[in-house]
Amino acid sequence: MAGDLERGRQKVDWARAHMPVLEGIRRRFETEHPFRGLTLSAVLHVEAKTAALALALQAGGADVRLAAGNPLSTDDDAVAALKEAGVDTRAEKGESISAFRDGIRAMLEADPDVIIDDGADLVALVHTGRKDRGKIRGSTEETTTGVTRLKALERSGGLLFPAIDVNDAEMKHLFDNRYGTGQSTLDGIFSATNLLVAGKVCVVAGYGWCGKGVASRLRGLGGEVVVTEVDPVRAIEARLDGFAVRSMLDAAPTADLIVTVTGNTHVVRAEHFRVLKDGCLLANSGHFDVEISRTDLDGMAVSHKTVRPNVEEYRFPDGRRTYLLAEGRLVNLAAGQGHPVEIMDLSFALQALSAEHLAQHGRTMAIRVHPVPPELDRRVAEAALAPLGVSLDTLTPAQVQYMAQWEGGS
Ligand code: ADE
């Protein structure tokens, strides 16, 4: 649906006003033009914060092209504002899978110099479609799933250009994955259901950084949180963080809400649906819509209807019902507004600096998956201190000297 331009402008202005780190970078880009003459193709969740990133890159001289990272995550108002600003944007909320794929294809047809990806769909298309680096200097990657795909390409020896793993930068995963996913997942669940968390048994599948965030926020709202894990170390970490840890099969019969954040497939499937508590809500915050098996739900349910926007009721033969939120797509963006603005300020500041790094050095960088250069991570941290109301102590000369005695020692 065509977005409302005025509302789009307001949303983008609001985001920019709360993204001081990215705005500082935008002002520098405006004078230095690090992307002059370059095309930047991005496949991202297209919403107001993403628009702020696109505008910062554009201020740096880039011809910015943007396509949706998911068919349900687009904010059409933000698209209207982006188009007005001259960013070629291919995204519409609820678009068909073929329109979604066409959008990504258009990003490649733009013959980009730098790629910004969230989930590695554009990088995958280069490797399966064109199979040629062209003038691509490199790509940056936003999310855990995308990094997993990039590392698989690297291992196979088939990676065509350097990639920067923004996801694993400290200023990204410690905050975006934990506090961003923690808050925005709940935002999506609230918007879809308008139900209470307090007193509910909430099962969180996966205790990576995203799972930690979701579990802690659910507990903060009075949920009785159970974590499921396949990794023994993470299972113990969750237990010592104070959560019950059970198998999904044990947890499902008492679950009022299940949230998947594993990055894996069919985490909730037929065997769990057979024992699921009546009325259980099912939500996914992982990148792909594969964590809750819709195939099994469709196969087992005797009826299926939409009961609210973003809530589908499935009824099993014995009368039990379950409610799938946002079609099993990432609930935080499909039903909510994505991560809080201040969090995306940090993540997108890293994206902007990493894209600049590739524009400057990509042609001579080794073809592998690189971490974000530590000095960029630190620059973002330093720029974020004052806006977040944080001040640091500094080491006294005696403390510097004290620490120096250990340096270089074994
Ligand atoms: N907004 C834009 N990109 C996002 C992402 N990857 N996760 C959550 N919110 C976002």
Question: Ligand 1 — pocket residues by CB below 6 A?
Answer: 44-45, 47, 49-50, 118, 142-143, 180, 184, 332-333, 338-339, 344
Pocket probe for ligand 1: among 18, 44, 55, 72, the residue whose CB has the most ligand atoms within 8 Å is 44
Q: Hey, what are 358's tokens?
A: 């590739």
* CA-proximal residue: ligand 1, atom 3 (nearest): 45
Query: Is residue 129 domain-shared with residue 153, that is, in the same domain?
Result: yes
- Does a structural domain hold residue 400? no
Query: Is residue 320 domain-shared with residue 288, that is, in the same domain?
Result: yes
Using the CB atoms, write b or e for 247-279: b if 16+ within 10 Å.
ebeebbeebbbbbbbbbeeebbbeebbeebbee
Q: How far is the CA of 277 from the centre of ligand 1 (A)?
A: 31
Are 40 and 65 a contacting pair, CB within 8 Å? yes
Using the 3D structure, point to which of 310, 334, 358 is the last residue of a domain.
334
Query: Is residue 138 domain-shared with residue 192, that is, in the same domain?
Result: no
Q: Hey, what are 161's tokens?
A: 């250009």
Question: Over pLDDT 70: what percentage of the chain?
Answer: 99
- Does a structural domain hold residue 151? yes
- What's 365's domain CATH number? 3.40.50.1480
Query: Is residue 143 domain-shared with residue 43, that is, in the same domain?
Result: yes
Using the 3D structure, point to which of 267, 299, 334 is the last residue of a domain.
334
Query: Is residue 196 domain-shared with residue 229, that is, in the same domain?
Result: yes
Using the 3D structure, point to which of 334, 363, 398 is the last residue of a domain.
334
What domain count does the chain have?
2
Q: Which atom of ligand 1 is nearest to the CA of 180?
A: 8
- Does a structural domain hold residue 37? yes
Are 375 and 179 a contacting pair, CB within 8 Å? no
Query: Is residue 271 domain-shared with residue 363, that is, in the same domain?
Result: no
- Does a structural domain hold residue 210? yes
| Residue numbers in the chain where pLDDT is lower than 70 | 408-410
Q: How far is the CA of 44 from the centre of ligand 1 (A)?
A: 8
* CA-proximal residue: ligand 1, atom 2 (nearest): 45
* CA-proximal residue: ligand 1, atom 10 (nearest): 338
**Burial class of 101 by CB neighbour count within 10 A (0 to 12, 13 to 18, 19+):** middle
- Does a structural domain hold residue 399? no
Question: What's the predicted TM-score (pTM) here?
Answer: 0.94
Query: Is residue 198 domain-shared with residue 136, that is, in the same domain?
Result: no
- The 3-state DSSP class for residue 219 equals helix
| Domain containing residue 204 | 180-334
